[in-house]
Structures are given as C-alpha cells and as structure tokens.
Structure 1
Amino acid sequence: MRYSWALGPRWSTHYQHGWIMTGLMAEITATPVAKGTLALWFLGQNGWMIKSPAGKVLAVDPYLSNSCHPSRRGLDLDRRVPILVTPEALEADLLLCTHSHKDHADPATLCACARGGRVKAFAGPGDTQAVFAAAGVAESQRGLTWPNHEIFLEDLKVTGTFALPTDAGDLTHMGFVIQVDGGPSLWITGDTAWCDLLAEAGARHQPDAICLPINGGYANLSHWDAAELVRRVAPAQAIPCHWDMFADNSCPPHLFEASLKVKEVRGVYRLPEHGRKMVIEPR
C-alpha cells in the first residue's frame, strides 16, 4: 500500500512515480539557525539535510532518484517518498555517505550532484570512494573517513562512528556524530546490525539526538533493537528513519514508539516529517 500526502503549494511536477518538492533547497539556504542548535530536514530513507548556526550545510545519504527500482531480486523497491530536492539543485558544503549501498550512496544522485557543482566536498568510508569516482566527483573533492576520524567545518565537527555491516558486500559501514560549537550533537547511525559494541561506542559520544533505522530488514536494526540502542545511549531525542521508502523494506514507525514504551524509555520519540524542519537542541 502506498502512502498518500496532502500536497500543498510547494509540491509540483510529476517525477516518475513521485513528486518533486520545489523550494525546499531555497528554504534550507534561507533558514537562519539559532546559536546553540542544529536544523534538520528529513529527505526519506536515511537522507538528511543539516544546517549549523554559521550557515554550514551537510547532506547525509541523499537518495534523490528511483534507481533502486526495479530490483534485480524482484522486490518492490519503487520509491514511496517524494523527491524533496532535485539532485542537480542540492547545495551542501559537505555530502556524507555512510556506506556504498545504492539507497545511501546513490550513483544517480551523486552523478547529478557532481555535474551540478553545488556540493563542495564529498566524504565517506572505503567502499564509497569508488562510487564517488564513478559518479564523476573530482579527486580533489573526495575525502576518505572512518570511525573516530574527525572532520572540521567552521562551527561543526563530524566524527565517524562504528557500525556493524549488514552484508558482506560492503564491510565499511559507519555512522556520523555531528557536533555544533556550544550546542547539541546528533548521531546518524547509518545502516547497522545490532551488537553490544554499537551501544558502547555510541554512548561515548553522549549524543543529544539519534537518527536510527528501525526497519529490521536485511540485518538492519529492528524497532526493538533500535529501542534498546536508545535505552543504552540515553539521548534526549530518538528519531526513526529507514522505514518509509520501499514497500519491501519498511516498518510502521509506531512500532518503534511502542518498543520504547515497553523498555520504559519515555519522552524521547520524535517522528520526522518529510521536508519539514526539526530543531535539535541540547538536552
């Protein structure tokens, strides 16, 4: 069953099986961010746009095409979320990919971003580097990163975090903790299977907010695993993702909320709305 949306004035132009949101990139560019906070926009799957008080913009895992469809295995991977920013229009100081799977390091999106020239730099772990190169990203714009590696961008520090790979095709999965000077930290875990080390490594960063997958498909965190990670790491906000894009790799997000309740983790659940600004504050 497909989701339906009440389409407001920002929605226009049919694109394959979805819609393009006009004006979101302009909104992100124009949005001021209060000191001591981060602004966050959900693009679907594990796609995020993040803006700092100094105006620095990060894109994480933007999947802005329908390139996973059709599936070679016969799965329903036709996108169910509108394309919120065209990849040619995407503007970012840094585009981060957590791993090389197509819904995270999407060749179609990356090719268009490389051609568009609005993304200043690209970074990701080992297996993403070949994807960047094949997409036409100049060598001078490509950066290799890994768990515990730090990237500094004016008022932002991006620290790589451990993730347990979900298949043998890419063993360089990772996540990112994004810390703003004098403000909150946001942990985007990326795709990861459960293990105790994930919780131990994540808790070291004491993130104020976590964005984490809940779908449970193909070795990813289930809604129950995700709730346990939140319980152990104890952020002020827990934001589910990776539940919305594909019919055959989805999970109703209320099950994550229910799992948090069963584990007696109260007051942290926050459901993101596609293309709507969220404000991340210190706990």
Structure 2
Amino acid sequence: MDDVHSDWGDWLLRAVEEADPDGLAVWYLGCNGFVVKASDGTTLFVDPYLGTGDPPRTVRMIPVPFDPTDVREADAVLATHEHTDHVHGPSQAPILAGTGADFYAPDAGLDVVEEEDWTGEWDVAREQLVEVGEGDTFEVGGVTVHVAAANDPDADHPVSYVFEHAGRTFFHGGDARPGEAFERVGERFDIDLGVLAFGSVGRIPDKETGEPTRTRWYSDENMVVEAAAQLDLDRLLPTHWDMWKGLTADPTALFEHARSFDAPRRVEVHQIGDRTDV
C-alpha cells in the first residue's frame, strides 16, 4: 500500500489536540472528512481521506491535510460507506494502529477492510473493527453516536451518523441524497449542524472504457437544500464540492437556493482546515 504524504505538516492535528471546546467542535478535512472533538476530549474522525484519487479519472483538487501516522489522539474512526474516499487503508489504518482507536463501518465498508488486509498490512487488530447498521446506538467516550439510514444509490450499504454531546447535535450524511431516510432523522433529532455532500454533474472518464461520461455522484443545489429541509437543519455545511476535478461546485450558490425555505436556517461555507463549533 502507498504511504500518504502531506505538505501541511502536523499543525492541524496539533490544533485539534490543543483545542478545548465547550461542547462539540468539528474541523473540515476536505472531501467529506471531519474531526469531531467533545468537551471531554473525545476525538473522532469521520470519513478521513488522505489519498490523491486515481488520476486521470479522479484527481484531487485540494491539499492532503495531514499524515495519518502523525495522529496521536483518536478514539474512533467512522466510515459512512465503502467508497475509496471513505474507506481507505493508507488513510485510516495508520490512525487505528497508532492510537488503538476503533473503526466503525457498515458491512460493505468492512468488506473493503478485508480486501485491503488492514490487519496484515498494518498493525490493526480485528477487535478494533466494528460493524454498524441502521438503528444502532453506541458511546465513544462522552459522545453518543446514532447510526441512521441514508439514500446513496451509488453505494452498496451507506449509513449516516448523528453525534450527541452536552446538548449539541452534529449530523454527517455521507454522500447521501434526499429521501425518506433523512425525513426520519429530521423527525427524531434536533440537529444543530449537518454536513451534506454537494457537487456538480460533470464528465469524468468511465472506469472501464476511459471515455468521458456524464456523472452525478452528489446532490446538486436544489437536492442538497431539499435534504437539509428534510433534516430540518439549523445550520448546513456543504462538503465534497472542493474535491474532484470535473465535479467541483460553488457552495455560495446555496445561499440563494436556501433563502425561501424554513430550513436550513443558515448555510455556512468552510474550507479545508477550518474549525466550527456545534
């Protein structure tokens, strides 16, 4: 497996370590990755991807924010679904090996772990690999994690996550699009901040033929606002718009799309490395 290299050094990881949030703080890692830190120090990584894609088909457009071997504090790594930019051995296995954190993923994600042989290629124990499914609830330190369904037609078994701590609620929807699954989450939880994948329809080379092909992987402007309304989000943070050449988008367009809806009540645009408090 290829090693991951970042030109950013370790400053972002050290900033997370030094942070002392009142409730929950999150840092955007680009693509759909986040670090979540609670007031008790519990630290979780969600969908951290530190690879460069598979050029020329998928080309990373943003920096790699850190080396996974530099992570010193992590209690869990969570994956929303099995795609490479969400389950990726070179990005995630060194975090598990270096910190002893557990890895939570649905069954299709753990199939990728098996195929990539995380326990053989890296110092990862099978006891660190935990399968999750819709309806599960578990505790990681002081954070309660709820596993919910997700509508992602491109994935074999996607899930979404609701994180609760100290009266704050953070939602990570993976790459999912609007649907009944989000309506159920919105009815059950009062979400302070939710992240949803947003991107354009573009042309990228077909995996088999190499021919440029019209491709939709994420919600467009109308779809992401529809999903945010289903979830009844107080704050929407769009993700993934920065990542792939040919599928990037302008997140400021969402301000106008959201203006006539009751939710989301606020749209926030963050760049890779930015922190916000929930």
Give me the TM-score of the superposition, normalised by structure 2: 0.84
Contact 1:126 1:144 in 2 (8 A): yes
Query: Deviations along 1:90-145, whole A, 9 cap, x unmatched?
Result: 23100000011001112221243344x22411111011112233222321101111
Give the aligned residue type for 1:78: V
Q: What is the 5 A alignment of 1:149-228?
A: 149-167=136-154, 170-180=155-165, 182-215=166-199, 217=201, 218-228=216-226
Aligned position for 1:118 = 99
Aligned position for 1:6 = none
Contact 2:25 2:275 in 1 (8 A): yes
Give me the TM-score of the superposition, normalised by structure 1: 0.83
Query: Deviations along 1:229-275, whole A, 9 cap, x unmatched?
Result: 22233222111101111112221111222211243657411112321
Contact 1:24 1:275 in 2 (8 A): yes
1:56 to 22, 33, 42: 42
Q: What is the 5 A alignment of 1:239-258?
A: 239-258=237-256
Unaligned 5+ segments in structure 1 are: 1-14
Aligned position for 1:12 = none
Q: Does 2:3 correspond to 1:22?
A: no
1:232 to 218, 230, 233: 230
Contact 2:179 2:227 in 1 (8 A): no
Contact 1:59 1:94 in 2 (8 A): yes
Identity of aligned residues (%): 22
Distance 1:28 1:51, change over 3 A: same
Question: SS at the partner of 2:85?
Answer: coil
Distance 1:223 1:203, change over 3 A: farther
2:133 to 141, 146, 150: 146
Q: What is the 5 A alignment of 1:96-115?
A: 96-115=78-97
Give the aligned residue type for 2:24: L
Distance 1:276 1:227, change over 3 A: same
Give the aligned residue type for 1:27: A
Q: Hey, what's the Cα distance between the residues in 2 that align with 1:193 and 1:148?
A: 19
Aligned position for 2:54 = 69
Contact 1:191 1:220 in 2 (8 A): yes
Distance 1:266 1:148, change over 3 A: closer
Q: State the 1:57 CA deviation.
A: 0.1
Contact 2:82 2:156 in 1 (8 A): no
Aligned position for 1:128 = 109
Query: Deviations along 1:169-219, whole A, 9 cap, x unmatched?
Result: x42101100000x32101101111332342233332221111111115534
Give the aligned residue type for 1:108: P
Query: Deviations along 1:2-48, whole A, 9 cap, x unmatched?
Result: xxxxxxxxxxxxx87x73243111111111111xx211100001100
Q: Hey, what's the Cα distance between the residues in 1 that align with 2:77 and 2:246?
A: 27
